Chain A
Amino acid sequence: MLGKRGGPGPDADLLTCEDCEFFNNDPREIENLFQGIRILSSAYSSTRGNAGLCAVHDLFMNPGAPCAHFRRSPRSPVESEGP
């Protein structure tokens, strides 16, 4: 199910940036990265949603469809039902 390096593979329509090793939307890590966020906001708020940091493109973004740099993350909850 994993694509070769450089793409998500045949199940791309089920995967998003959240399933990518290079994408991080863990709220604790976002707050550590953006230190001032705790003063008047929070990474645990609804308004952040599931936005996070893409290490490849250096962007803060809502997760979207995987790009050519996609690499499946071990923490991805997407499961396979077949071989």
Chain B
Amino acid sequence: MVKHSRGMAELYRTEDCWAIWLGLFIIFAAMTAFWGGTTLKDIAVTPGSWSNFEELAADVQKHLGAYGLIYIGFGIAFTLSMAAMGQNIREYVPGYTIIFLGSLGIFYLASWRVMKTAHLGAPLLALVVGLIIGNLKRMPEWFQTSMRTEYYIKTGIVLLGATLPFTLILTAGPVAFLQATIVSVVTWLTIYLAATRLFGLDPRFGAVLGAGGAVCGVSASIAVGGAVRAKKDHIAIGIGVVSIWAIVMIFSLVILTKVMIPPPAELASTPDSIMTITPGEAGAWIGTSEYADAAGFAVVAELAHEYGEAAIHTFTLMKVIGRDIWVGIWAFVLSVISVMFWEQTAGQRNVRAGVIWERFPKFVLGFFAASIIISVIAANAPEDHQGKAAVEGVFKSHLGKEQYKADFSGYLPPPALAARFHFSPAEGTIAFDGKMSYDQLDALTAAAATKDQKTALKQLHYKSDWFESILATQAISPIKKLRSWCFVFCFLCIGLSTRIKDLLVFGMKPFWAFTIGVLVNVPLGFFLSTYVFAEYWKAIR
């Protein structure tokens, strides 16, 4: 007898692996363009701000070709992968087209100045619009084929790896793991004990509910459910309970964090208090208290709209590194416990340690690979890089824009830096050889006589950083734009596929068992993120 290997099929039959192939291909394309002296910036676009119809029309006309290329590029990649996974591509293609056009509409809605003033970004708008449409009208069966929430978010997470330095993963990863483990174990025990001791539910059902709240949402419920041999109904109920709470937490955490994070201009000056947190702390809290990657990214992507990438980075460290990658271990341990104590035929089946790798969320490998690739490239900046800044211009930072017009004709740099600092009156520029450190910026600024000179030197500091001023703008920025597209596809699909009425199929006992877990998880996550480990999360930008 010969048994065929099924292992290789995972390379083309799972969304995880296709997210890796597509994500790394996009990174490869961006870097190839960069090394070839060009950039994908003109193709990887999202709409610009507009406040009247003329501005809207001009923006659409400007970017129409790029939108077409994004539609075709993603369309080909997603369609081929859907075919490989055995999906019906005659259903997928029209559905993807609708999702793409819907996402484009969401992007334009979000870039309307009215929405910007109301601090409503594309992620939240995609979710809200999707929920309204999806609950007013059931999506047809054929459209379900294109609502691949997990596939889109996993592709986005692989692309996210390109923006997260691998050194940060190595240094902050252990802290994320420690905090996540504390919260996960406490949450799982709370839900399990509430389910079994308080409400008398089957221990395997308690384990499935606990995994949904403690590890990574529905995916963990499925992984643990299979490991402990849960009843079919328990899986269905677990999916309903976890999904409802994940959606509720999206809105709750968006509101709470937006209230508690000071405006960007006041972040540095706002004193610490119980009611204020930084974006980094918010991301860590969301990472422990959201129940699905997609749901959590909806919150932090919304925060990024106003506060930058810090919340996305800390969320990713906490959720992906701290929780997701350990689902296989949870499945293995709980299967051992199930065999020994819960199953009626206790001890009569073997438990394989191989399940730890089998259940490992493989897309995380793509995330790591993306981070390593960009980190290696960033660490090998050209030694002869010279940063150059105009003496007149606009300096942009997370605090806003500063216009300046500086005169460096009488400027004398500190003697230690005189050989590296250059002023060209003919070009109207200042230049610095190599990367300028913050200490060097302070020294140069101390010698400046006017505010405009100081602003020009801040611009020069930015331009001296090859990674920030060259690699990030030419190669990583397009990757981030395409990541935004994947995220909005995902959030729109979450909204369209969430029919509240259909999810309310569970009895109250599992719901309350899970809710007791939420009531422990959320404050515990907040306490660990904003007090115990606050200094780690505050330091991450």
Residue B401 interfacial (CB < 8 Å): no
Chain A residues touching B, range: 35 or more
Residue B462 interfacial (CB < 8 Å): no
Tell me the interface secondary structure of chain A in the complex: loop
Known: A44-B14, A61-B226. A39 touches B1 (CB 8 A): no
Residue B16 interfacial (CB < 8 Å): yes
User: Which residue in A42, A57, A58 is a CB contact (below 8 Å) of B151?
Assistant: A42
Expressed in whole angstroms, the Cα–Cα distance for A59 and B233 within the complex equals 9
Which residues does chain A contribute within 8 Å of B87, judged by CB atoms?
28
Expressed in whole angstroms, the Cα–Cα distance for A61 and B355 within the complex equals 12
Expressed in whole angstroms, the Cα–Cα distance for A12 and B62 within the complex equals 65
Closest-by-CB residue of B relative to A51 is B226
The answer on a CB contact under 8 Å between B3 and A45 is no
Which residues does chain A contribute within 8 Å of B223, judged by CB atoms?
47-49, 51
Known: A46-B14, A58-B231. A40 touches B349 (CB 8 A): no
Which residues does chain A contribute within 8 Å of B242, judged by CB atoms?
40
Find residues 30-53 in chain A having any chain B CB closer than 8 Å to their own CB.
33-53
Residue A83 interfacial (CB < 8 Å): no
Closest-by-CB residue of A relative to B150 is A42
The answer on a CB contact under 8 Å between B86 and A28 is yes
Known: A40-B243, A41-B150, A65-B349. A59 touches B220 (CB 8 A): no
The answer on a CB contact under 8 Å between A41 and B2 is no
The answer on a CB contact under 8 Å between B85 and A44 is yes
Which residues does chain A contribute within 8 Å of B363, judged by CB atoms?
46
Residues of B in contact, count (CB < 8 Å): 63
User: Which residue in B2, B217, B235 is a CB contact (below 8 Å) of A40?
Assistant: B217
Residue A77 interfacial (CB < 8 Å): yes
Which residues does chain A contribute within 8 Å of B246, judged by CB atoms?
40
The answer on a CB contact under 8 Å between B149 and A39 is yes
Which residues does chain B contribute within 8 Å of A58, judged by CB atoms?
231-232
- Least Cβ–Cβ distance between A45 and chain B, in angstroms: 6
Which residues does chain A contribute within 8 Å of B494, judged by CB atoms?
39-40
Residue B230 interfacial (CB < 8 Å): yes
Residue A74 interfacial (CB < 8 Å): no
Closest-by-CB residue of A relative to B221 is A41
Closest-by-CB residue of A relative to B295 is A40
Residue B497 interfacial (CB < 8 Å): yes
20 residue pairs bridging A and B, Cβ less than 8 Å apart: A27-B85, A28-B87, A33-B232, A38-B147, A38-B148, A39-B243, A39-B494, A39-B498, A39-B503, A40-B149, A40-B243, A41-B150, A42-B151, A45-B15, A47-B222, A49-B358, A58-B232, A60-B235, A62-B229, A79-B2
Binding site for A on B (CB under 8 A): 1-4, 6, 10, 13-17, 85-87, 144, 147-151, 216-220, 222-223, 225-227, 229-232, 234-236, 239-240, 242-243, 246, 291-292, 294-295, 327, 335, 349-350, 355, 358-363, 493-494, 497-498, 502-503
Question: In the complex, given contacts A49-B359, A62-B335, what are 4 additional A-B residue pairs having Cβ atoms less than 8 angstroms apart?
Answer: A45-B219, A48-B226, A60-B226, A60-B229
Q: What 7 A-B pairs have minimum CB-CB distances, sorted nearest first?
A: A51-B226, A41-B218, A42-B150, A40-B292, A61-B229, A77-B4, A46-B16
